[in-house]
Every structure is written in C-alpha cells, then in structure tokens.
C-alpha cells in the first residue's frame, strides 16, 4: 500500500494512550472514537465502564461519536477528505470485522503496538507455563544478549 499522506486516525478502546502509534505517526491528524452501540448492548456494558473510557478519551485529541463503527469512521474520513484510515492493532475478532469493512472502502493502515516482549519464535500457547518458560528471560531482561 502506498504511504498515507492525510489519513484520519481511528482510535478504538484497546489503545487509549496519548502515545498511540497512529497519533505519533501522524501528529495533528483528525482522530475519531466511535461508541460501538451493538457491542455496548450485547455485552450489557454498565455506566461506570463508559465513564472510565470517556475520561480516557477526554485526554486524547479525538472526536467522539456513536453508532456503527465502520460507517462512522468512513463518514469521518469522507468529511475530512482523507486518503485513508490509520489505527492500532488488536487481537479482537470484532476489530478484524470492522477493519475489513473499512478496508473494503478506504486504504487502512494498522500499526502494531509495542509488544510485551520481542519474541520471534513460535510460542506454545497450550498452557501458560509453557509460554512463560519461553518468554521469561526476555521479560526479565536476563536473556544473555539483552542489556538491562
């Protein structure tokens, strides 16, 4: 994909940091958060969770809307005459579905968030103990090649 020049940033609830990779990569780009009405309803999210998230959003340079996430992000991109959408990665299947809807209409760039540890090898996820044996030295900075 060619580099985006004037994208909008789609902020979702898995990355509400001022150090959001898309906000750092595109400082000043218009950013949007959308309350996912269907998700709030299906998970029966209570008010205190919304208040917490709203307080997080109020510290970010972001417009806040509600409704169908993909439709709202695409409408925002059109309003801003953007050449694409930038966001941060998430493992959630709902993120994948919304991303696919956006990507069908506009170029979408998904930036990685900094991983817990840098691990290249394939991890055995059958049980935590096996995963931890593989990452422990890296996580504690005691891996021989790491500098503390």
Partner 1 sequence: MPKDMRRDFADRAELVAYLAAEFPAAAAESAAVSATRGGRRAAEALLTAIQPARYASTRNFLDGAVTRLSAYLRHGVLSLAEVRRAALRAETRPAEAAKLISELAWRDYWQRVYAVIGDGIWEDREPYKTGLEAAAYAQELPADIAAGTTGLACIDAFSRELVDSGYMHNHARMWLAAYVVHWRRVAWQAGARWFLTHLLDGDPASNNLSWQWVASTFSHKPYVFNRENLERYSGGIYCRACPLRLQCPFDKSYEALQAELFPGGAPAATPPRRRQ
The pair of structure tokens assigned to 2 is 């060619």
The pair of structure tokens assigned to 105 is 């209409």
Instruction: Using the minimum distance from each CB to partner 1, give the nearer residue, 2 or 46.
Output: 46
Mark 18-57 with x for binding to partner 1 (rule: CB under 8 A) and - for no binding.
xxx--------------x----xx-xxxxxxxxxxxxxxx
Structure-derived torsion over alpha carbons of residues 45, 9, 74, 97, reported in degrees to the nearest 10 = -50
- To the nearest whole angstrom, how small is the minimum distance from the Cβ of residue 91 to partner 1? 4
114 near partner 1, rule: CB under 8 A: yes
In order, the DSSP letters of 90-140 are ---HHHHHHHHHHHTTS-EEEEPPPPSS---SPP--SSHHHHHHHHHHHHT
Please give the residue ranges that form the binding site for partner 1 (CB under 8 A). Answer: 13-20, 35, 40-41, 43-59, 63-66, 79, 88, 91-93, 96, 113-117, 123, 125, 127-128, 131-132, 135-136, 139-142, 148
């Amino acid at each position: 994909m060619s580099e985006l020049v004037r994208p909008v940033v789609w902020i979702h609830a898995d990355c509400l940091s001022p150090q959001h990779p898309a906000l750092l990569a595109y400082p000043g780009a218009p950013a949007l958060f959308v309350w996912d009405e269907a998700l709030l309803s299906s998970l029966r999210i209570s008010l205190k969770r919304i208040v917490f998230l709203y307080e997080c959003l109020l510290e970010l340079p972001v417009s806040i809307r509600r409704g169908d996430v993909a439709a709202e992000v695409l409408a925002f991109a059109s309003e801003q005459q953007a050449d694409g959408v930038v966001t941060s990665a998430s493992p959630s299947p709902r993120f994948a579905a919304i991303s696919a809807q956006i990507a069908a209409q506009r170029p979408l760039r998904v930036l990685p968030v900094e991983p817990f540890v840098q691990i290249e090898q394939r991890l055995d996820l059958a049980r935590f103990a096996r995963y931890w044996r593989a990452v422990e030295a890296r996580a504690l900075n005691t891996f021989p090649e790491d500098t503390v």
